[in-house]
């Protein structure tokens, strides 16, 4: 990411002055804010308001701690797109602690953390990647001789906002899959006295992380979330409802085996295990790596990585949805039959209606898909 | 003379959680310990799961090496089930893995390693015209003007005067071990920033074939990205042209920025060609199959072993001779802690015996890390770019011999210089240059195959579990950016019954074994190694970063019986 950038800010400079000095025109900036407004679900009309808020900002401190994790989430933010203006957005912050990028090591690194927390008490944004292993007194991850839990609790104390980035920080992810040998949990299991926003995914798309930070910086509050703490602007809709291959699902056109004639026509991946119908994620809209593609776009089924417990509920990954663990083969034929009838009759409309943000909870209670949907 | 105890935790600018402890006397390191302080237990999680899912689980071992575990896992399962992937899929995997190497090595150099050699603050006093002169003598890169470097320097000045140093806070700026003139420091700072933009572009190759990066998708039996030149949602000419552009831009940056910078900087640090050599044995499992994955004579980087720095002989590698020891690790073996076990017999029972956190020191304890100690016929082995280049050099690989010869000549040093901290960093550069060229050939081959009518990317003959034997075992090798990797899988009744990985950082970060032999990090730190200021461990960072540590990769566990037994005895 461009967080370590040398794009310096003069002491009292605002983003507006900053952009001007960088030769970014007012028009370009407004255009960007319009796009950001759409991304955040506020509509392009919110552009001017966003622009006003962003331009008055100074660089707030961001402290990024990495606990039990694989660094994939940091890498994902490194790939965040929108080069020039996106960098500027990131440069709105001062990244004061980051294992992956900071020059100092050892006690100099820990001193930098202490300095940043003290100087920005109550004001800094805490970004957390990685889970917290609680088993056996926390000995499964230590940093500077202290447990991940102790590091997190201390850093959370003075934070103005906590952003849990990635499936590990959200709920524990792969190390928390059965049998969870280290007792790994997400941030919200440890920090209970403050709101934690879950920018989830394995990893999440880098742009979703930066957009969430932008939301906080602009409005002084974290964006609205679903019942699992995920920002609605990114996780409010199901992949299945936004999938470019949806028309093939509705038409009963499926890939039956990888690389068959249907795969070469770009048909629906539901029969080879796609979890898009049960997954709330921005992938089809944001896409990955600067809009290059996304998993289904590259011919592989969605594995549902933005959903809690997906390593257990979405596996085996190549089994068709109703057969996988989380969705229960125990459902009776009657329920499935009823759902099939609704699905068949209502088709696209039923799915479209189901995308309303306020219906997130209700939607989860419904059977996801009939087992025989689309079978010839 | 007084002994000083040194602790560096966290080691930053790496993947994962690493702690180094050392003892110094009179400015030299006399003893060293490498501690892995994170454990996740992913292989335990794999028990009883569908082997076709294993690539996704093991891929999450590491988000930096985001390709390597997935491909090694696919190869292990394919080996077990007797699957041969189509040539197109093999070429696509080579392209994806090749771009992983290039992007990873360049990021490692600029964003993880460079600050050990480059003094950012010194760049403030550079003469941008001087920087432009230096840049033009080493490279035709277009951004070589005085105006350009002055712009970078002005931004740097504003940054420093603004008082918010961000990730540069508390760096060891002004340390006497920094030797570059201000003009070269400014050059490196400018390219640190350029590389951030570059990597975002070239890695999109993963997104086209795998849907995203980090963690692109793979598939047992081939690749899921179907080829159809007339399709809108497939690999078509538009996608191939995009890839061609990325490969060209990757090569240009490597040849005109990364490699010239690396050599220019190395020229100021030649004394590091006699520091940090360490373990004298090197292992490469070989990588980039140009025939089938089992056609090990046709690997672009060859397989083999170098013993005692003897480049006149390459010894054969047999995976059955790998054993893991736990004498110094927080585990127990049923047959006692003195034995070594092959991964197919591997067992792991984590038993923490370290001090209760928060703790001050781990040095001197019998067991001091979560990392096991792999040994090949009882010997510790260095793995990684240097091992690969040495094995290729000794095997008579023409391109490698030419590049190694050229760089040694340019620096005015002999082959012995390779066995060092600087040698590891230079070897990484050499293989990046070679791969950046090779990528074009692989893409060409893929295009020729498509032209001749072969668009097959997947072999589904053993996809259905009904076609599998009741029990099977497989080995998947892969030489990853950080070195030799192996996945071993056993399958019973359609499910994983045992899964074990021996990973580059397990080899390099391994602790002492029962014979008292130090692991490669530890041995390098006590090999003619300075530490001027124990309070500012810059030299330790140089040598440790020259290995490019990846700690999450190194620590893993699979219990032989499938039972998750964890005992903890806190001192």
Question: How does pLDDT run across B428-471, given as a tens digit for each residue?
Answer: 999 999 999 999 999 999 999 999 999 999 999 999 999 999 99
- Do A181 and A322 belong together in one domain? no
Q: Residue A326's pLDDT is what?
A: 43
Show Cβ contacts of residue A85 under 8 Å, excluding neighbours closer than 6 positions: A24, A28, A29, A32
**Which of B111, B185, B207, B359 is the best substitution to test chain A (most A C-beta atoms within 10 A)?**
B207
Residue B326 pLDDT > 70: yes
Residue A259 is nearest to which of B19, B354, B457, comparing CB atoms?
Answer: B457
Q: Which A residues, 82 through 101, put their C-beta within 8 Å of a C-beta on chain B?
A: 83, 94-96, 98-101
Catalytic status, residue B15: yes
Q: Residue A53's pLDDT is what?
A: 63
Show Cβ contacts of residue A11 under 8 Å, excluding neighbours closer than 6 positions: B162, B163
CA–CA separation, B418 and B386 (whole Å):
8
Q: Are B512 and B328 in contact (CB under 8 A)?
A: yes
Most confident listed range (A75-89, B438-452, B498-512): B438-452
CA–CA separation, A239 and A242 (whole Å):
5
Which uninterrupted H or E stretch holds A292? Answer: none
Let me know if residue A5 belongs to a domain. Answer: no
Residue of A nearest to B458 (CA): A259
Residue A139 pLDDT > 70: yes
Show Cβ contacts of residue A246 under 8 Å, excluding neighbours closer than 6 positions: A240, A268, A348, A351
Three-state DSSP at A44 gives: helix
Residue A370 pLDDT > 80: no
Catalytic status, residue B62: yes
- Do A241 and A225 belong together in one domain? no
CA–CA separation, B204 and A289 (whole Å):
6
CATH number of the CATH domain containing A329: 4.10.480.10
CA angle B26, B31, B33 (to 5 degrees): 135
- Do A25 and A112 belong together in one domain? yes
CA–CA separation, B257 and B432 (whole Å):
12
Q: Residue A91's pLDDT is what?
A: 63
Q: Per this entry, what is the length of chain B?
A: 571
Which residue, among B280, B281, B298, has the nearest Cα to B289 in the 3D structure?
Answer: B298
Q: Are A132 and A149 in contact (CB under 8 A)?
A: yes
Which range is least confidently modeled, A99-103, B112-116, B308-312?
A99-103
Instruction: Give the range of the structural domain holding residue B530, as residue numbers without chain letter.
Output: 4-568
Let me know if residue A374 belongs to a domain. Answer: no
Residue B16 is nearest to which of A5, A71, A116, comparing CB atoms?
Answer: A71
Catalytic status, residue B17: no
Which range is least confidently modeled, A346-360, B40-54, B339-353, B357-371?
A346-360
Active-site hit among B122, B303, B550, B552: B550
Tokens of A43: 């509509």
Let me know if residue A9 belongs to a domain. Answer: no
Residue of B nearest to A296 (CA): B211
CA angle A307, B54, B560 (to 5 degrees): 115
Three-state DSSP at A35 gives: helix
Q: Residue B112's pLDDT is what?
A: 95
Q: Residue B347's pLDDT is what?
A: 78
Residue A57 pLDDT > 80: no
Q: Are B562 and B74 in contact (CB under 8 A)?
A: no
Tell me which of A183, A202, A234 is where a domain ends: A234
Residue B207 is nearest to which of A74, A288, A296, comparing CB atoms?
Answer: A288
Catalytic status, residue B550: yes
pLDDT tens, position by position, A153-178: 999 999 999 999 999 999 999 999 99
Tokens of B339: 């034995």
Q: Which A residues, 333 through 362, put their C-beta within 8 Å of a C-beta on chain B?
A: none
Let me know if residue A274 belongs to a domain. Answer: yes
Which residue, among B321, B440, B304, has the nearest Cα to B375 in the 3D structure?
Answer: B321
Let me know if residue A8 belongs to a domain. Answer: no
CATH number of the CATH domain containing A225: 3.40.50.700
Q: What's the whole-number mean pLDDT along residues B328-349? A: 90
Q: Are B25 and B4 in contact (CB under 8 A)?
A: yes
CATH number of the CATH domain containing B471: 1.10.645.10
Report CA Rg, chain A. Answer: 22
Catalytic status, residue B315: no
Active-site hit among B13, B19, B69, B251: B69
Tell me which of A195, A211, A234 is where a domain ends: A234
Residues of chain B with pLDDT > 90, as a percent, come to 87
Catalytic status, residue B290: no
Residues of chain B with pLDDT > 70, as a percent, come to 97
Per the listing, tokens 């096991």 go with: B372
Q: What's the whole-number mean pLDDT along residues A40-44? A: 66
Tell me which of A234, A256, A276 is where a domain ends: A234
pLDDT tens, position by position, B551-566: 877 665 433 333 333 3
Q: Are A173 and A166 in contact (CB under 8 A)?
A: yes
Residue A237 pLDDT > 90: yes
Residue A45 buriedness (CB in 10 A; 0-12 / 13-18 / 19+): exposed
Q: How far is CA B451 from CA B88, B209, B229, B444, B454, in A?
A: 12, 19, 10, 10, 7
Q: Residue B197's pLDDT is what?
A: 87
Exposure b/e, A99-130, CB count within 10 A at least 16 = b: bbbbbbbbbbbbebbeebbeebeeebbbbbbb
Select the more confidently predicted residue: B283 or A321.
Answer: B283
Query: Does the N-terminal peptide bond of residue A99 adopt cis geometry, omega within 30 degrees of 0?
Result: no
Let me know if residue A111 belongs to a domain. Answer: yes
Q: Do B38 and A203 touch (CB under 8 A)?
A: no
pLDDT tens, position by position, B406-415: 999 998 998 8
CA–CA separation, B79 and A77 (whole Å):
35
Q: Residue A17's pLDDT is what?
A: 66
Q: What's the whole-number mean pLDDT along residues A211-222? A: 86
Q: Residue B161's pLDDT is what?
A: 73
CA–CA separation, B173 and B177 (whole Å):
10
Active-site hit among B329, B497, B505, B546: B505
Let me know if residue A327 belongs to a domain. Answer: yes
Q: Residue A80's pLDDT is what?
A: 80
CA–CA separation, B351 and B546 (whole Å):
31
Q: Are B166 and A4 in contact (CB under 8 A)?
A: yes
Q: Residue A21's pLDDT is what?
A: 65
Catalytic status, residue B420: no
Q: Residue B43's pLDDT is what?
A: 75
Select the more confidently predicted residue: B571 or B205.
Answer: B205
Residue A18 pLDDT > 80: no
Residue B51 pLDDT > 90: yes
Q: Residue B426's pLDDT is what?
A: 97
pLDDT level of residue A59 (50, 70, 90 thresholds):
confident
Instruction: Give the range of the structural domain holding residue A310, as residue numbers without chain letter.
Output: 236-365
Q: Residue A141's pLDDT is what?
A: 93
Show Cβ contacts of residue B401 under 8 Å, excluding neighbours closer than 6 positions: B393
Q: Do B50 and A10 touch (CB under 8 A)?
A: no
Whether the CB of A150 is below 8 Å from some CB of chain B: the reply is yes
pLDDT tens, position by position, B194-245: 998 899 999 999 999 999 999 999 999 999 999 999 999 999 999 999 999 9
Residue B142 pLDDT > 80: yes
- Do A77 and A132 belong together in one domain? yes
Residue B454 buriedness (CB in 10 A; 0-12 / 13-18 / 19+): middle
- Do A197 and A225 belong together in one domain? yes
In degrees rounded to 5, what are phi and psi of residue A129? -115, 145
Distance of CA B264 to the CA centre of its chain: 23
- Name the domain count of chain A: 2
- Do A314 and A176 belong together in one domain? no
pLDDT level of residue A323 (50, 70, 90 thresholds):
low
CA dihedral sign of residues B13, B14, B15, B21 = negative
Select the more confidently predicted residue: A17 or B524.
Answer: B524
pLDDT tens, position by position, B339-385: 999 988 987 788 999 999 999 999 999 999 999 999 999 999 999 99
Catalytic status, residue B553: yes
Q: Residue A374's pLDDT is what?
A: 38
Look up the pTM and report it.
0.89
DSSP assignment of B116-135 equals GT--TGGGGG--HHHHHHHH
Q: Which A residues, 123 through 142, put their C-beta within 8 Å of a C-beta on chain B?
A: 133, 135-142
- Contact residues, chain A, for B463 at CB < 8 Å: 257-258
Give me the interface pTM, i.e. the ipTM.
Answer: 0.93
Residue A349 pLDDT > 90: no
Q: Are B571 and B354 in contact (CB under 8 A)?
A: yes
Q: Are A179 and B564 in contact (CB under 8 A)?
A: yes
Residue A79 pLDDT > 70: yes
- Name the domain count of chain B: 1
Tokens of A302: 């969605």
- Do A155 and A229 belong together in one domain? yes
Q: Are A203 and B63 in contact (CB under 8 A)?
A: yes
Residue A60 pLDDT > 60: yes
pLDDT level of residue A11 (50, 70, 90 thresholds):
very low
Tokens of B75: 């190869």
Q: Residue B271's pLDDT is what?
A: 97
pLDDT level of residue A15 (50, 70, 90 thresholds):
low
Q: What's the whole-number mean pLDDT along residues A297-323? A: 95
């Amino acid at each position: 990411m461009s967080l370590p950038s040398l794009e310096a800010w003069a002491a009292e400079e605002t983003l507006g002055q900053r952009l001007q000095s960088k030769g970014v025109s007012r028009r370009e900036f407004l255009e960007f804010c319009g796009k950001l407004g759409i991304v955040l679900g506020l509509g392009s009309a919110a552009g001017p308001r966003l622009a006003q808020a962003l331009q008055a900002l100074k660089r707030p401190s961001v402290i990024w701690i990495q606990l039990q994790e694989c660094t994939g989430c940091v890498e994902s933010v490194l790939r965040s797109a929108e080069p020039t203006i996106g960098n500027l957005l990131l440069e709105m912050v001062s990244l004061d602690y980051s294992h992956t990028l900071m020059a100092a090591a050892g006690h100099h690194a820990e001193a930098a953390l202490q300095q940043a927390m003290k100087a920005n008490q109550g004001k800094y944004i805490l970004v957390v990647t990685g889970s917290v292993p609680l088993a056996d007194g926390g000995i499964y991850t230590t940093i500077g001789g202290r447990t991940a839990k102790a590091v997190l609790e201390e850093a959370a104390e003075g934070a103005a906002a906590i952003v849990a980035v990635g499936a590990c920080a959200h709920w524990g992810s792969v190390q928390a899959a059965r049998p969870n040998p280290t007792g790994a949990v997400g941030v919200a299991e440890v920090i209970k006295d403050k709101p934690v926003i879950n920018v989830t995914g394995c990893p999440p798309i880098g742009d979703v992380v930066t957009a969430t930070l932008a939301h906080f910086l602009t409005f002084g509050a974290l964006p609205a979330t679903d019942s699992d703490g995920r920002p609605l602007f990114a996780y409010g809709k199901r992949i299945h409802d936004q999938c470019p291959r949806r028309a093939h699902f509705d038409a009963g056109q499926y890939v039956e085996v990888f690389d068959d004639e249907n795969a070469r026509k770009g048909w629906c991946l539901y029969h080879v295990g796609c979890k898009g119908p049960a997954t709330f994620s921005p992938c089809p809209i944001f896409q990955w790596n600067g809009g290059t593609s996304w998993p289904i776009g590259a011919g592989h089924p969605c594995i549902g990585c933005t959903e809690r417990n997906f390593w257990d509920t979405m596996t085996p990954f190549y089994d068709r949805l109703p057969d996988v663990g989380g969705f229960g083969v125990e459902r009776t034929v009657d329920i499935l039959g009823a759902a099939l009838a609704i699905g068949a009759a209502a088709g696209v409309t039923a799915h479209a209606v189901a995308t309303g943000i306020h219906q997130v909870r209700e939607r989860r209670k419904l059977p996801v898909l009939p087992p025989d949907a689309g079978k010839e | 003379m007084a002994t000083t105890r040194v602790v560096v935790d966290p080691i930053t600018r790496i993947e994962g959680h690493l702690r180094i402890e050392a003892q110094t006397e009179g400015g030299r390191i006399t003893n060293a310990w490498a501690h892995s302080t994170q454990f996740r237990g992913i292989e335990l999680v794999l028990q009883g799961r569908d082997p076709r899912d294993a690539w996704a689980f093991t891929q999450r071992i590491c988000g930096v090496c985001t390709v390597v575990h997935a491909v090694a896992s696919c190869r292990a399962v394919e080996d077990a089930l007797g699957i041969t992937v189509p040539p197109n899929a093999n070429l696509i995997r080579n392209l994806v893995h090749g771009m992983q190497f290039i992007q990873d090595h360049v990021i490692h150099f600029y964003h993880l390693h460079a600050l050990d050699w480059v003094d950012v603050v010194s760049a403030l006093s550079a003469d941008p015209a001087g920087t432009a002169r230096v840049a033009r003598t080493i490279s035709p890169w277009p951004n070589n003007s005085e105006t350009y470097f002055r712009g970078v320097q002005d931004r740097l000045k504003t940054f420093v005067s603004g008082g918010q140093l961000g990730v540069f806070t508390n760096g060891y700026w002004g340390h006497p071990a920094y030797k570059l003139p201000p003009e070269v420091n400014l050059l490196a700072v400018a390219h640190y920033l350029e590389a951030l933009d570059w990597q975002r572009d070239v890695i999109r190759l993963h997104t086209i074939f795998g849907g995203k990066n980090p963690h692109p998708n793979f598939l047992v039996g081939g690749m899921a990205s179907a080829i159809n030149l007339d399709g809108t949602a497939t690999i078509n000419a538009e996608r191939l042209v995009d890839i061609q552009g990325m490969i060209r831009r990757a090569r240009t940056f490597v040849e005109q920025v990364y490699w010239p910078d690396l050599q220019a900087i190395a020229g100021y640090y030649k004394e590091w060609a006699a520091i940090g050599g360490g373990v004298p044995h090197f292992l490469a499992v070989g990588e980039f199959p140009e025939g089938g994955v089992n056609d090990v004579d046709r690997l672009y980087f060859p397989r083999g072993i170098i013993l005692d720095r003897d480049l006149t002989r390459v010894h054969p590698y047999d995976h059955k001779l790998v054993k893991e020891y736990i004498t110094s690790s927080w585990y127990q073996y049923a047959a006692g802690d003195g034995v070594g076990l092959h991964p197919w017999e591997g067992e792991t029972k984590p038993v923490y015996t370290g001090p209760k956190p928060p703790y001050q020191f781990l040095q001197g304890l019998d067991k001091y890390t979560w990392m096991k100690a792999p040994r090949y016929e009882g010997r510790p082995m260095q793995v990684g770019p240097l091992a690969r280049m040495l094995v290729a050099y000794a095997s008579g690989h023409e391109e490698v011999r030419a590049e190694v010869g050229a760089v040694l000549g340019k620096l005015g040093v002999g082959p012995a210089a390779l066995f060092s901290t600087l040698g590891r960093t230079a070897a990484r550069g050499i293989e990046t240059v070679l791969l950046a060229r090779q990528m074009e050939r692989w893409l060409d081959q893929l295009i020729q195959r498509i032209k001749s009518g072969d668009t097959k990317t997947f072999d589904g003959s053993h996809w259905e579990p009904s076609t599998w034997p009741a029990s099977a075992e497989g080995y998947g090798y892969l030489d990853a950016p950080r070195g030799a990797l192996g996945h071993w899988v056993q399958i019973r009744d359609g499910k994983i019954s045992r899964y074990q990985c021996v990973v580059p950082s397990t080899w390099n970060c391994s602790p002492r074994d029962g014979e008292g032999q130090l692991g490669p990090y530890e041995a390098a730190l006590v090999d003619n190694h300075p530490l001027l200021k124990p309070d500012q461990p810059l030299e330790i960072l140089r040598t440790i970063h020259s290995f490019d540590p990846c700690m999450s990769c190194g620590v893993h566990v699979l219990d032989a019986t499938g039972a998750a037994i964890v005992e903890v005895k806190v001192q």
